[in-house]
Structure 1
Amino acid sequence: MSSFFSKLRPSKLGKKKNNQDAAPTSLYANSNNSSQMSLGQKSYTSSTQGRNYPLQSNQIQSAARQDQHMQTKPQGQFNNQMNSMNQMNSMNQMNPTNGYQPLFLRQPFVRSALVKGSFQTIVEVPRYVDQNEWIALNIFEFNSNVKQFVTMLSDYIDQSHTMSAGPGYDYLWIDTNKQTVRLPAAKYIEFTLSWISSKLDDASLFPTSQGVPFPQNFLMLVRSIYSQLFRIFAYLYHNQFEKIVHLSLEPHFNSLFCHFTSFGKTFDLIDRNESVPLQPLIQSFEIQGKIA
C-alpha cells in the first residue's frame, strides 16, 4: 500500500515523549532514514519516524495505481454533500426503525474502494518466505500507512477529542506509574505510534540480521501492536471519517483497512472483542467480498 501515499507529506510523528514507554489499554464503558527490506534477508527499514520499506513481489503492487491523485473536493461540493448527510441523519433519528448509522457505514462510502475483489490473495505467505518475516514486513507497512493517514488528518485531531470509538468505547493509557489515564486523542495516538516505533526499532524483537531468530513471544508482541493500530483505525472511522471524505481519501482508507483486517484474520492477530467498534463495517466488507 505504500503507493497509496506517494504524494503525501512526510510524517511529523514519532517524536519520543516522556510517557512513550507506558502502554496503551482500553476501557469498555456504558523520517526518512531508511534501508532496504528484502524477503529472506532480514534488513527491514529503520527510521525514527517509522519504517518505509517497499512491498515485495505479489504484495500490493496493487490497486492503488488506479487512483494516486488525492485532491480535495471543492468546498461547494463538500457543503452539499454534508447537507445531504445531515438530512439522512435527521431521517434516521426521526424513524427509529431505520436506526442511526455512522457515516462510514452509509452509501456510497461503505462501498468506496480502490479495487474490486478480495485482499486474501495478497495476505497469504508467499512460497519460500518465512512466516515471521512476512508478518514483520506487513506490520512495518501497516504502521507506516497508518502514520500517513494520521499526518494527513493531524490538523483535525485536536486536544478536545477523546480517544474513543463510538459511544461506550473509550481507550485509556497506562502511564509509567501503572495508572490508567484518559488522554486526548492526539496525545494517545502520538504515544501509541511512539510505543510501536520503539518495538519495531528493537532488533531483539524484530531482528534485522540474517540468521538471528525471532523471539519466542514474537506473535504475542505483534498482536499487541496490531490491536493498537486497530484502535487508531476505530478512532478515525468514528471521529474523522467526515474529514477523510472531504479529502477524497475514503477509497484509500477503506482499502487499507480491508487489507489490514484480512491480514489480521489470516494470522489471528486480534480478539473479536477488540474489533467490536468496527464489526458492522467488517461484516459489510465481508458481504462485499473485500474481506474473506
Structure 2
Amino acid sequence: MLGDHCAAPADRVLLGQPPKTGLHCKMVFRAVSKVLRKSKAKPNGKKPGAEEKKVYLEPEHARSRIADFAFKELVVLPREIDLHEWLASNTTTFFHHINLQYSTISEFCTGETCQTMAVCNTQYYWYDERGKKVKCTAPQYVDFVMSSVQKLVTDEDVFPTKYGREFPSSFESLVKKICRFLFHVLGHIYWAHFKETLALELHGHLNTLYVHFILFAREFNLLDPKETAVMDDLTEVLCGGPGGAGGGGPGAQNHVKER
C-alpha cells in the first residue's frame, strides 16, 4: 500500500525551488530566441558536420545545481519504508519532475526541429502495443512516454495507494521500463535543447534532476548500463563516473544506433 506515495523526502529536496517558468517571460523567450538564431543545429536534433562541443559538459554549466545535497545518501532505502513503496514514490516523483522539465522547452521541440528522437549517436523508436516499431518525431515520442507512464502511475493495480492493496509481481520490471523511457527524455533535453535550457536559466534544475535520477537508478539497478552508456560523459562529469555504467568509449562516435 502506497499512502499518497509516502510524501518522500525526494519531493522536498529535488525541486524545492520550482523552475522559474513564469518569471519575466518576454525577456526569457527573447533570450531563447537569440540563442536559437545563433544555433546552427539541423532540423533533427543533431548537430551539423562533426559533433559540436557539448555545451552541457562545460565546467561552468556542469557545476550548476539548485541545491548541494549528498544524493548518494538521499537515495538509500530508509529502514522503515518498504522497497516497493520507496520505488513507487520516487518513480512517480521523477516522472512529474522530468515531465515538468521537458515542458519548459517543449515549444522548441517540434516535428521540424526534432524529426527523430535522437540522443547523441542513438536514435530511439517507439514500439506500439503489438510490438511494432514506430518511427516518430521527438515530441511524438515524448508524448507516448508521458502518456504511457501517466497511465501506469495512476493505475491502482500497478501503483496502489489504498490500504491493503499489494504491488503486482511485475512491479520492479515496470519501474525499470519507466526509468528507461524517462532517461531517453532527459538525454534528449541535454542533447537537443540544452541551449534553450541554459537561456531559461534552468540548467541547474536539469543537472540536479539528472544526478538524483541516475544515482537512484544505480542504487536499485533500474537502468541497464548499455542503455545509459550514451550519456556516460555527462554522468562522469555530474556523478563522478559511470559507476559500472558500461562502455561508451571514444570509438564509433559518428555511428548512429537504433533502439
Q: CA deviation at 1:178?
A: 2.9
Long gaps (5+) in structure 2: 41-47, 242-259
Q: Which amino acid aligns with 1:269?
A: L
**Relative to 1, partners in 2 of residues 1:77 and 1:236: Cα closer, same or farther, differing over 3 Å?**
closer
Aligned residue number for residue 33 of structure 1: none
Q: Is the 8 A contact 1:119 1:262 kept in 2?
A: yes
Corresponding residue SS for 2:178: helix
* 1:66-112: CA deviation from partner (whole Å, max 9, x where unpaired): 686565676579959x97x99xxxxxx9xx9xx95311111311111
Q: CA deviation at 1:206?
A: 1.4
State the alpha-carbon separation in 2 of the partners of residues 149 and 61 from structure 1.
16
Q: Is the 8 A contact 1:172 1:180 kept in 2?
A: yes
Are 1:173 and 2:126 matched, yes or no? Answer: yes
State the alpha-carbon separation in 2 of the partners of residues 204 and 77 from structure 1.
42
Aligned residue number for residue 183 of structure 2: 230
Q: CA deviation at 1:154?
A: 1.4
Q: Which protein is bigger by CA-based radius of gyration? A: 1
Aligned residue number for residue 18 of structure 1: none
Q: Which amino acid aligns with 1:261?
A: I
Q: Is the 8 A contact 2:126 2:136 kept in 1?
A: yes
Kindly report which structure 2 residues correspond to 1:21-32, keeping only aligned pairs within 5 A, or say none: none
* 1:150-200: CA deviation from partner (whole Å, max 9, x where unpaired): 221111010121101013x00001134432121010111001111111111
State the alpha-carbon separation in 1 of the partners of residues 61 and 143 from structure 2.
27
Are 1:105 and 2:65 matched, yes or no? Answer: no
Aligned residue number for residue 82 of structure 2: 130
Corresponding residue SS for 2:12: coil
Structure with the largest fraction of helix: 2
Aligned residue number for residue 61 of structure 1: 12
The size of the alignment, in residue pairs, is 227
Aligned residue number for residue 99 of structure 2: 147
**Relative to 1, partners in 2 of residues 1:173 and 1:77: Cα closer, same or farther, differing over 3 Å?**
closer
- Output the aligned Cα RMSD: 2.9
Q: CA deviation at 1:62?
A: 2.5
Long gaps (5+) in structure 1: 1-40, 45-52, 87-92
State the alpha-carbon separation in 1 of the partners of residues 32 and 133 from structure 2.
43
State the alpha-carbon separation in 1 of the partners of residues 218 and 80 from structure 2.
22
State the alpha-carbon separation in 2 of the partners of residues 194 and 68 from structure 1.
22
Are 1:159 and 2:111 matched, yes or no? Answer: yes
Structure 1 length normalisation: TM-score?
0.69
Aligned residue number for residue 219 of structure 1: 172
